[in-house]
Structure 1
Amino acid sequence: MLITKFDLYNAEWLDLVFDHRNKNYGAYELRQSYGRTMAKSMGIAFAAVAILSAAAIIFKAKPKPVYEFHEVHLKTPVDIPKPPVEAVKQPDAPAPMEHQKPAAPVETKGFTTPHLVTTEPPTEPPTIDQLKDVAIGPTDVKGPSGAGNVIDSKDPGPGGTGTAKVDDGVHTLDGLEVMPEPVGGAAAWAKFLQKNLRFPGAAQDAGVSGKVLLSFIIEKDGALSNIKVERPAGYGFDEEATRVLKLAKAWKPGVQNGQNVRVRYSIPISFQLATEE
């Protein structure tokens, strides 16, 4: 059988296939240069394989050297001299103390603490019957006896009855021995006001703040009484401050001359409208 070489990429066949066609189209140029492109690609591939093989042979890892250790014995050992040790000098022992002879005794006289001794003979205290109709004095004095010499027990005498006068007056803070204060101190009082005070609606609608000055009396038992508005602020501030003071618990009362007393006290209460930042 006759086999004819049939090369589609031959120039004659290409001209025949692309006869009466647009040879400026890319397919004609690609088929015309296919043989040269294939040969160039094969050459580059073979060259790359050859270079990689040669590099692998040249740069093959060298084996690490193996070190052997041999034991060495010295024929004559060498003695290393030790550094000399300096002798520590001991301190000299103290010389023994000479025995001192006792001093010769001197003449002395004993002195004792003197005690006072009364020369008067002791006397027995008087009995109840002996004191019944006589007055008591430092010495015995002769005179008429009788019930008139005895002081009446109802007479208070120059020392008074022994009971202090009840103080019901109203004191101020000036000169007071112990000042009145809320139970728990100023911190507890501020917490009480913050918890119970309410900003009046009229003042909130008007957008105003205010400060009310109130006075009251702290009774002997610490209760708050006679609450008065001394400096009003309006807008419902006065009524709210008075309401809260009536809710307050008893204070620690003031003390003067060792007894609880009534004290007039003044306090300002401020209402501050919160501003939006």
Structure 2
Amino acid sequence: MSRIATPADALTYNEIIFQARHRAYGAFDLRQQYRPALTRALWVGVGLFLLGLAAPTLYARLFPKPDLSDQIVLVETDLVKLPDTPNEQPVPIPPVEQAPAVSTVRNLPPVVLPDPEVVDEALPPTTEQLEKATSGPVTAEGTGVDEVIAAPEATGPTATERALDVAPTNHDETFIAVEQQPEYPGGMAALSDFVTRTLQYPRRASTAGISGRVYVSFIVNTDGSLTEVQVLKGIGFGCDEEAVRVVQKMPRWRPGKQSGRSVRVKFTLPIAFTLE
């Protein structure tokens, strides 16, 4: 005879799973408490959400803002009417004075006419008339002092200079680059030979083992002489002074030229000091 199962004999899902397993490891308890813990967490989350929504309303009820309507005092003031601006009469503008007219003499282009038709008005004005009046289409008396405007004096280049397209040159001006650079007599080879023969290696530089280049600048005048000799970049130990001495002993150069004229040109010369 079969036995009918009663509710007391019903097993839960967890009990069925852990029927043949050890329940002391804690997994069984975790499964037993999972659903209740999940339900509690859900209700706690819902409660916190509703509390967050109701927080502004609760704060406004617990801490109401003070009513400042009783503290506002209205002050009535009377507007002051500004005085009316007096009607000022417009300032009269003085009439513009017209410049005095200049006397003119009729001077029209010459027209060839037969002898019977030649009249005095067809003749050009004389020199005496042009001294007292200017040339114009009609003869008229001036209203002011008759002054003949003189032609301005020419201050620019002459016609010859304009034809040659050559501007006047200031001989005191110093150039850096010109059309024809100054040159040592005989060219660069002669210049190198002169420096080699004239240069004396300073004893201090030789003892200290100093070598290098000394850059000397000078101005080649229009007559080829050298002036304003100075060291732009030196190496010391007496080499700078020796380079200046060598430049000062140079003969006259061929001057530089700009537009066919001799001009002052600033020249830079490197002088090498090399130990052998």
TM-score (normalizing by structure 2)? 0.43
| Higher Cα Rg, which structure | 1
Choose between structure 1 and 2: higher helix proportion. 2
TM-score (normalizing by structure 1)? 0.43
